[in-house]
């Protein structure tokens, strides 16, 4: 078993329940990890036998460009798209961080993590 991690995919997006968030947007960071049998990639050195982390980052950017009210919804969309791209028995984890959410008080980040 192997583990691929793509950390710190930075995206400016327009998610949130407040109308202001739809207009001004905010900073987000997405981390993706995938666990699976990558032994064939280890043996063959072939990109086609593994998960292309450049494509992972592209999928995250594509899905984050679609507005959601909730970060839970955006994370679930990212997860679904990753699973559709690589459907074979991999275990995914998507961690979506909303930096400086516009809520009462001084809050550094809100985080949602989905696994599947």
Catalytic residue among 36, 44, 98, 109: 98
- Find, among 38, 30, 39, the residue nearest to 59 by Cα: 30
Question: What contacts 99, CB < 8 A, 6 or more positions away?
Answer: 26, 27, 28, 29, 108, 109
Show the tokens assigned to 112.
Answer: 């949602």
Would you call 83 a catalytic residue per the annotation?
A: no
Task: Confirm if 112 and 71 have CB atoms less than 8 A apart.
Answer: yes
Task: Confirm if 63 and 78 have CB atoms less than 8 A apart.
Answer: yes
First vs last C-alpha separation in the chain: 16
The catalytic residues are 98
């Amino acid at each position: 078993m192997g583990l691929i991690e793509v950390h710190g995919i930075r995206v400016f997006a327009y998610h949130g329940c407040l109308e202001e968030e739809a207009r001004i947007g905010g900073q987000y960071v997405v981390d993706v990890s995938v666990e699976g049998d990558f032994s064939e990639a280890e043996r063959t050195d072939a990109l086609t036998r593994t998960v292309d982390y450049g494509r992972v980052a592209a999928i995250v950017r594509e899905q984050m460009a679609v507005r959601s009210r909730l970060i839970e919804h955006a994370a679930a969309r990212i997860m679904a798209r990753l699973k559709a791209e690589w459907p074979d028995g991999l275990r995914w984890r998507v961690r979506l961080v909303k930096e400086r959410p516009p809520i009462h008080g001084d809050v550094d980040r809100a985080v949602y993590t989905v696994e599947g």
